Amino acid sequence: MEYCLTTYNLAKSYGRKPVLRNVNMHVERGAIYGFVGKNGSGKTTLIRCVTGLQRPTSGSYELFGVSDSDGASARVRKRIAAIVETPSVYPSLSAKDNMLMQCEILGIADTRRVADILDYVGLSYTDTKKVAKYSLGMRQRLGIALALVGGPDLIILDEPVNGLDPQGIVEIRELILRLNREKNMTVVISSHILGELSKLATHYGFIDAGSIVKEISAKELADKCRKSIYVEVDDIKAFSCAMQSRGIEHRVASDRSAEIYGEITVTELVALLSGYGCSLRTVREQDEDLERYFLDLIGGERS
């Protein structure tokens, strides 16, 4: 397995306040890694550490197999780009001039790719409009364009759709998918907007209170987040006996409720439970979504 980014017991404290606690993270090459956590869980701090904006208090990390303590790490770091919190742009300049400024900062003399990059993100090379007049979605796309100037293999996006309108969210989503599929770019997306993230991610890392509590592939998550039938009954023990008699997979949620994962119609269910002296009080179909999985994982509640 080839990883673009790996962290080893990475920790960061501000004074006596720990923000990251022994984080072990694994980002496969070619993945879209959804980095999931509540506000204040440590997502941005971890991004700042692995991009060199802050030093971890302890632990280490590797970029493309090169340790942060290795002398070659500065060279390898050029293969990554990041937008942390909000894109850094010059509002008084046009998109083209912002891009040319970025080339100058990075020491890139050949600026011929600038027009192609702007076109790729849906911005015009010839547009003289100042960035100050851009919508939030346009600024976000310009931020991604600036990140692409150095030709990175890994791009890290911190809350890329936060505050965008529905059209802006779709545009950023499609752009990220294109970068991954057409450019074979590995993408790490930090977000708490789980419904949107589920449309993109191939892998997930869940962080809570500064610790990674779970890493899982989208395929594995889909197997867990499957359709079920939620039921409430008057005798949970009789219900379990009835399910076991037919070999129907189920999960008892409380002393009155359960979830059924096997195939069974309501008519069949009522008849089966009746044979065990159990009455069905409530029944409904439900999908286990990413939000519910995350909240179950960290022991939270829906807002």
Q: What is the pLDDT of residues 211-249, one digit of tens each?
A: 999 999 998 888 777 778 999 999 999 999 999 999 999
Strands 80-83 and 154-158: parallel
Q: Tell me how far apart the alpha carbons of residues 225 and 292 are, in angstroms, rounded to a whole number.
A: 9
Kindly indicate the confidence band of residue 303, based on its pLDDT and cuts at 50, 70 and 90.
very low
Q: Tell me how far apart the alpha carbons of residues 81 and 153 are, in angstroms, rounded to a whole number.
A: 8
Query: What pTM does this model have?
Result: 0.80
Beta strands in 57-210 (DSSP E): 58-63, 66-67, 80-83, 154-158, 186-191, 203-208
- Residue 251's CB is within 10 A of a number of other CB atoms, namely 11
Q: What is the pLDDT of residues 35-82, one digit of tens each?
A: 998 888 999 999 999 999 999 999 999 999 999 988 888 889 889 999
Q: What is the pLDDT of residues 119-157, one digit of tens each?
A: 999 998 888 999 999 999 999 999 999 999 999 999 999
CB 73, CB 37: distance < 8 Å? no
CB 229, CB 259: distance < 8 Å? yes
In single-letter form, the type of residue at position 233 comes to V
Q: Tell me how far apart the alpha carbons of residues 88 and 34 are, in angstroms, rounded to a whole number.
A: 22
